[in-house]
A and B are shown apart, each in its own frame.
Chain A
Amino acid sequence: MVPTSDNYFATLNSAVFSDGSFVYVPPGVKCPMELSTYFRINERNTGQFERTLIIADKGAYVSYLEGCTAPQRDENQLHAAVVELVTHDDAEIKYSTVQNWYPGNSEGKGGIYNFVTKRGDCRGKNSKISWTQVETGSAITWKYPSCILRGDNSRGEFYSIAISNGYQQVDSGTKMIHLGKNTTSRIISKGIAAGVSQNTYRGLVTAHRKATGARNFTACDSLLIGDKCGAHTVPYIEAKNSSALFEHEATTSKISEDMLFYCVQRGLSQEEAVALVVNGFVKDVLQQLPMEFAVEAQKLISISLEGSVG
């Protein structure tokens, strides 16, 4: 699904990958447990190039989680993975990521470059692929989990929380490519920028000439903490037939001093106040995560933002 010539990092991955995971769910099987994987980059001067392929056959269902961490190192390290998902008729894959690669030190030294290609193919009728990601780590993230909505009535979803602090740069979003009839997609993106970081949502929603009745709803919300960070929203929207209906909403807000003071006056410390406000901001997306993961993610969000307010 991701050809070797797709992009520079996919080519590199295809050339050197040695490991990864493969999941096949037979027709009619609903996987009763959350499949869970954990990635770690341990060695100095190495990169990680794993591949993941998940196929849900007719009427099958699976939920797959991945978590990532790496120890602190002064050198930059590369993570260039490829993930491919395929759903046949009436099948569903739910793919969740909590990414906490080492982001570099307070001066922006070191950290992981996270350049990942993730693509889902809703090949069958009424099939569904849902991406949920919580991105808190990495020095630089380029990541656009996509859905090709080929089957009629298929559905793609993308829920994202991207947090950047210190010198991190996050450029993430999704592509929803509507090819079949009456295909629907939904994008909810929450970007939080602190420190001197830059946080970008970049996304594409497109409806093919023959994709009649395509529908998309997109909401991109950005939250700024402090006055040295940036939030950017770059949506590409292409409707090539007149029956497509696309909605895009975007907001940018700042955590106000009044909001923090209100919480602090009620007894919360400054950091607890920031964590509370941010967790409220990302609640819609957190709810998409499996229960245990949501609790972890909530803690991770608080940790990632430590020291973001004076």
Chain B
Amino acid sequence: MTALLEVKGLKVQVEDNEILHGLDLTVNQGEVHAIMGPNGSGKSTLSHVIAGKPGYDVTAGEILFKGEDVLEMAPDERAAKGVFLAFQYPVEIPGVTTMNFLRTALNAQRKARGEAELLVPDFLKKVRSVADSLNIPMDMLKRGVNVGFSGGEKKRNEILQMALFQPSLCILDEMDSGLDIDALRVAADGVNVLRSKDRAMVVITHYQRLLNYIVPDFVHVMSKGRVVKSGGKELALELEESGYAQFEDKAA
């Protein structure tokens, strides 16, 4: 069986600095992988490169998504094929209602896949049922995208989009940043509902705390641009006790 996501020997530079020095990662359908590591270990860079953010030079290696070369695709093409990145800091777009944004994005993806665009009534029905299941009031969707949203609301808006677009790969970049414990639990519940055998998740986090709520199948530790250790969910707990310092030496 082809893996959903295969990263092989990935080297990435920003300007003249190499950030990832040959990274390997394989994610199969239905699996939840956690990537942990200290600040500056390259976790976010990995998520950005998979999603296609400009400004990164891939100097070696490859990324395959459903067996296809992702690096050859524009970022919107990747999105239409099912790559979703939940942002650490979702941007605000003043004057564009969340509802309009969701409809424009969903229809752009459908069009790219050769599917018919959703008509307004069908779309509304769909959004309402998804928003209800996440306890998101419809009023929130009438506001500008993320404009004046609290940290928790921004993250719930990301999860709403995830639920609406039904991507096959979800990358959650530091979902816990800026959330208090209650907001974190709400967000994690939203993510857990979306776990399915047809979907894989890559959860990027600095702290073990998030993994109490989103329990991963695999944990990878990154340090200085490489995966230095992989294991089961117990690895996260181990890290919580011993810290990242042991791996820093190893990577160096």
Contact = CB atoms under 8 A, between A and B. Distances in A.
B79 A267 contact: yes
B95 A280 contact: yes
A141 B108 CA distance: 35
A282 B52 CA distance: 29
A281 interface: yes
A265 interface: yes
A262 B87 contact: yes
A269 B108 contact: yes
Contacts of A269: 74, 76, 108
Interface in A89-108: none
A257 interface: yes
A265 B91 CA distance: 12
B114 interface: no
Interface residues of A, number: 23
* Residue in A256, A264, A272, A276 whose Cβ sees the most chain B Cβ within 10 Å: A264
A262 B75 CA distance: 10
B91 A276 contact: no
Given A272-B104, A276-B93, A280-B93, A257 B55 contact: yes
Interface in A258-310: 258-259, 261-270, 272, 276-277, 279-284
Contacts of A259: 91, 93
B136 interface: no
B112 A267 contact: yes
Interface string A232-268: 0000000000000000000000001111011111111
A267 B95 contact: no
B80 A267 contact: yes
Contacts of A277: 93, 96
A143 B108 CA distance: 38
A284 B144 CA distance: 13
Contact of B94 (A262, A270, A280): A280
Contact of B91 (A262, A267, A279, A284): A262
Interface in B126-169: 144, 161, 165
A265 B90 CA distance: 11
Interface in A184-202: none
A261 B96 contact: no
A258 B165 contact: no
Given A267-B109, A276-B101, A261 B94 contact: no
A277 B95 CA distance: 8
B110 to A, nearest CB: 9
B177 to A, nearest CB: 16
A265 B75 contact: yes
A234 B75 CA distance: 40
B51 interface: yes
A261 B104 contact: no
Nearest to A266: B105
Nearest to A272: B108
B76 A268 contact: yes
Given A276-B101, A276-B104, A264 B95 contact: no
B76 A267 contact: yes
A281 B95 contact: yes
Interface in B52-105: 52-55, 74-76, 79-80, 84-85, 87, 90-91, 93-96, 101, 104-105
Interface in B171-203: none
A148 to B, nearest CB: 32
Contacts of B87: 262, 265
Interface of B: 51-55, 74-76, 79-80, 84-85, 87, 90-91, 93-96, 101, 104-106, 108-109, 112, 144, 161, 165
30 contacts: A257-B55, A258-B91, A259-B93, A261-B54, A262-B91, A264-B52, A264-B79, A265-B76, A265-B87, A266-B79, A266-B101, A266-B165, A267-B76, A267-B105, A267-B165, A268-B76, A268-B105, A269-B76, A269-B108, A270-B74, A270-B76, A272-B104, A272-B108, A276-B101, A280-B93, A280-B94, A280-B95, A280-B96, A280-B144, A281-B94
